[in-house]
Each structure stands twice: as C-alpha cells, then as structure tokens.
Structure 1
C-alpha cells in the first residue's frame, strides 16, 4: 500500500470515525473500503477505454495456473483482445 493524505470536511471525518468505532475497524480501513466501492461503481458505469485494462482479472483467482512458457497465454489474450475489439467496432 501507498500512504496518501486527503483533505475532507470535518463533519465527514466525524462520520467516518463513528462508523469505524461501530464496526470495530480503523478509519483508514473504512476510507479504503469506501474508495474501493466508489471506484468499482465508476468503472461499472464507465468501463476503461484502454482495452488492456479490461484484461485485468480475466483469468480469475481460481482454476489452473497459466504456464507462460507454452505460448497459450498469448493465444488466450489474443482471442479475448480480438473479441473485445470486434464488439467495440460493430
């Protein structure tokens, strides 16, 4: 993680502190969760324009591990890239 500093209204910070106490979490954890929810919501409404960004997470966390030495990963990415390109240019 990277440390950052934000400016926020005092009332908002009090609400964050209250939520953190109620949930037994740190203020930083509440803010991180809120940021993730916000970014996810924005991405859902406005998907990334860079087609490479849409490939992130394509393979998922479960299933077979990809063997990068056999070239199949490039084939999978190429197929997905072509599919997304065709969908965008119809």
Structure 2
C-alpha cells in the first residue's frame, strides 16, 4: 500500500484487491493484514462481514479467498449488458417497422 492510513471502507476495497491478486493461493489473516497495512483484528472483523454476505470463504487449507458468489458479479453485469442490447434491438425493430 502507500503507507497512508485507510478508513474502514477503503480498507475493505484494498482487501478485495489483495484477495483478487492472491486468489489461487488464498491469504491468511496475517498476510492480508500485512498487505493492507492494518491490524489482524481489523482483518478478522472485515472477513466476518465478507463471510456473512457470502463474499469470501476459506479454501481447504483454511486460507481466505473471494467466493464464487463474489466472482458471479461479473456475470451478472455481463447479463445486464446483454439484456440492454436485446431491449435496444427490439426497440429499434419496432421503430423501423413503424416507419415503413
């Protein structure tokens, strides 16, 4: 990190980035705390929130990583764009048909 103290919201975002960067290996509380330059207590509290909402879980070695639910957000966003394209295409077709 940059050495500046992060507020809790910034820290959670930094933890997300750190877990993304270390997804395959996972991270311990201590590793995550060192990476985002905070205390293990803060990380423990933050991970409990992630876990409560199903956004992080432990691998078979007990190391933290972002959950499949978290990864699914990208799929939901892609589906939103597909739906928007479909709706726009349908609207364009109706408009073009009405012009004839």
Structure with more of its chain in strand, by fraction: 2
Larger RCO of the pair (alpha carbons < 8 Å, separation 6+): 2
TM-score, normalized by the shorter chain, greater than 0.5 = no
TM-score (norm 1): 0.28
Q: Higher helix share goes to which structure?
A: 2
Using the size of structure 2 for normalisation, the TM-score is 0.26
